Structures are given as structure tokens and as C-alpha cells.
Chains A and B, each alone.
Chain A
């Protein structure tokens, strides 16, 4: 280190005791085993979130969140602003990859039982961030105010409305009225750029602090001979960064060669177009709703569907508290089978939703 940097370091260290942090990082190790590769997906998700914040701020410079101007402002970004097409395309692609990375991260944690004691809080904050991520996707989808988004938002908010008792007020709160209108766009814009990022950042800090403090979870069954762990700094960090670079390149290729469509402007007095469907990560739920009959016993089909998905989501969220096997160091068959069924269900229904 040259003398000037050393002086700066000494100046900071004297005031905020950087030495403790450096010592902590120096002692931190990442376990090495045949499942180590899954450790990287959390970092990839984080990287994509950072991309979203950056490109989101850039889009904010030109985006206009109103019924009359939203669609046109994105047209403007894509056709007139230098590299506007690139920034917008990256934001859309990174949003999808973010959800994908977060889902892979979540399932790897689930199957590795990394949520078990003492990491329940890390799991809970992660799951809440995944839900917020879906909220980011849902609210961001409407912002271009195109036809697909308009009807997707009608359906999505109406689903909230079918819940008994609380449904109606929640739907009106989300829509800013009885129907999806410009008022909905204003609210979703606010959620997307202020409310959700605020809560997300708070959870993210807790999540990362816990990961640093508790270290990486090790596999449950320590049958294999122990390999030497890898130092977090710099070995693991450098591998992380290398992967981030790969992801950035993939993102650039996708954004350039498969630019994100804008579609046609929403018209509240047009029929829902054929072939309408939500973003791929909502497809399995969307497809399920198609199969539900109008009435099941005394319930409307969609009420039952929503309640079932809600119950399943809650059970999934609470897995660290009902999985009794993993604290004993055993891979419980119930958890594994439930996970396989859920993954298979999501994949099959997503494929059906995509092609039917």
C-alpha cells in the first residue's frame, strides 16, 4: 500500500476501528463440499438487485408515471434517449433473472436444510424478500401501461379482492379505487420505487449481517471427508465477482439480442387480447386458476385457489419450525418429498401455461 492510502487507513482506523472488521473478514471461511456451488446464487441475486437499483434510478430520470404519459415516456426512453433501449431492456431482463436466481437460491437452501437452527431468521428474511421481489415484478409490470400489464393487474388485484372480509379493502387500496385506472398506476409507481425498495433494503441488511455473522450453513450429513474450507476474503469474494461478471455479460447479451417488447398501449375499453398471460413466475398459479371449476362445494373456485396457495405459501415459509428431522441431523423424507412435489408442480404448470 502506498503511503497516502496507509495514512487514510490509519485516519479511518483511529476513528471507526476498521481493524476489527479486517480481522473478522480474515478469519471468515466458506465450507467446501460438493454442494458448494449453491452458495453462489445468493450473491448472484444480490448482484441483480444492485443492477435493478442502478438501472431503475436511470429510468426514473425520464419515466412519467401517469395514465396519459407512462407508455409514451417509455417509448421516448427506448427511441430517443441515448442507450435508453439498453437500460430499459436490462432492467426488464435483470428483473426476470433476479426472480430466477432468488428462486434457485431459495430452493437450494430448502433442500440443503440451511434454514435450520440457528438460521431461521435468515430464512424468514429471505422468504419475505422473495415475496417483495414478486411484488416488485407485479408493480413494475404495470408501469409501461401496456395492454398485457393492464389486464394482468386487473386479474392480480381482483384475486386479492376475492379473499373473504379483507379482500375488498385490500383491492381498493391497491387499485386506488374500484377499477384499475391511472390512480392504480400512480400507486404502483410509488410502491415500486419507494415502499418496496425501502422495506427490501432493510430486510437485505438483516439477511447479509446474519450470513456474515453466522457463516455459511454446512451440509446436514457430514458423511464425506472434510475438505479444507476456503477463505471468504479474498478467495470466495473473487469467485463471486467473477461470476457477477459472467452474469453481467449474459444480461448484456440478452438485453441486446432479445430487447424487451413494449407492446401496445392499454385501453380500458378494449377486450382482453387472446394469449394473455402473466409473467412466467406467476404462470403456475395462473394456470391452476384456469383448471379450477366455478364452484367447489360452497366456495367460488378462485377463492379456494387463492386460499390453497396462501396456505401452501405459509407452510413453506414456516418450514424451519415444523421440520423436526433436520435438528437431529437427518434429511426428513417429508420435507424432501414436499419440495420435489412443489418443484415438479411449478415446472409442469409453468410449461402448460406457457404452451397452452
Chain B
């Protein structure tokens, strides 16, 4: 072996081993962490896509009131104005996910969590909500009230 080249060769060998072992260690960490992190993420649940929900008869829903309707897994608020007109919105506040309610005394849709207010058209008019509520369609067939997704 050439005595001058020897230390260089040694260094190369050492570097080679360093990369192989270091790379192996990284790959090993990835192989351990990947399944763990994947496990932490909850799987998507198959949900039946709800398109429309029957709420009840018109006469059972009082004027100037709000009702929470179960729409699949989400709450929807059905408002009947003092004049008798129906509106429906996703009942989930656009601020931080609380469920809103109809406040007769204020004539607004109100979120108790951070005092957010929406008018009866679902527009955010006061407090912290950044966006209007998502609107749903209300259909009255005969004397039955249905709430359905806006398409």
C-alpha cells in the first residue's frame, strides 16, 4: 500500500461508513416514525351524504323562532321569521366552531361563545365571526318543511 495515500484512503473509507451508517440511521428513524405519525391521523369515516332532511310540519314551527336540525353529522339552524319566512344555515359559527342560536330579543343569530352575531340572512354583522354562515335551502312541500343542501 502506498504510505502517502493511506491516510486519504482511510478518510474516504471513514466518510463512506459515515454516510452509510448515517443514512441507515435516518432511514431507520423514518421507518419507525412514518407508521407512528400515520397512526396518529384519524382515518376518514365513511359518511352517508345527506342531501335533504325533513324537519316537520309548518304549523309545528313557531314564528319568530330558531330550531337546530340534525343534518347528517352537522347541526343546521332553521329560522322562521316573525313574518313566517324560512331560512336555514349551517349552525356552526364561522369563528371558532360553536353552535349558534336564534335570539328573539335581538332578532339575530347569536353565538354564545364569543358574542358573534349574524343577521337573518346569515351575514356576520358583529363580533369576531369572519364569514357569513353557509346557507341551506328550505323547501315547503305541502305542509312539510325540508332543509337541503344548496347546489
Contacts and interface: CB of A to CB of B under 8 A. Distances in A.
Interface residues of B, number: 28
Contact of A151 (B40, B95, B99): B99
Interface SS of B by simple majority: loop
Contacts, number: 81
A276 B112 contact: yes
B9 interface: no
A179 B101 CA distance: 19
B40 A269 contact: no
Interface in A258-274: 268-274
Nearest to B129: A294
B87 to A, nearest CB: 16
Contacts of A154: 96-98
Interface residues of A, number: 34
Nearest to A276: B112
Contact of B101 (A173, A272, A286, A300): A272
B107 interface: no
A158 B93 CA distance: 11
A269 B100 CA distance: 10
B96 A301 contact: no
Interface of A: 151, 154-155, 157-159, 162, 169, 172-173, 175-177, 179, 183, 268-276, 286, 289-290, 292-295, 300-302
Given A158-B96, A269-B75, A290-B128, 4 more contacts: A154-B98, A175-B42, A271-B68, A293-B128
30 contacts: A151-B112, A151-B113, A154-B98, A155-B97, A157-B97, A158-B96, A159-B96, A173-B40, A177-B45, A183-B42, A269-B70, A269-B99, A270-B68, A270-B99, A271-B68, A271-B91, A271-B99, A271-B100, A272-B99, A272-B100, A276-B98, A286-B114, A289-B96, A290-B114, A290-B115, A292-B128, A294-B95, A294-B124, A294-B127, A301-B130
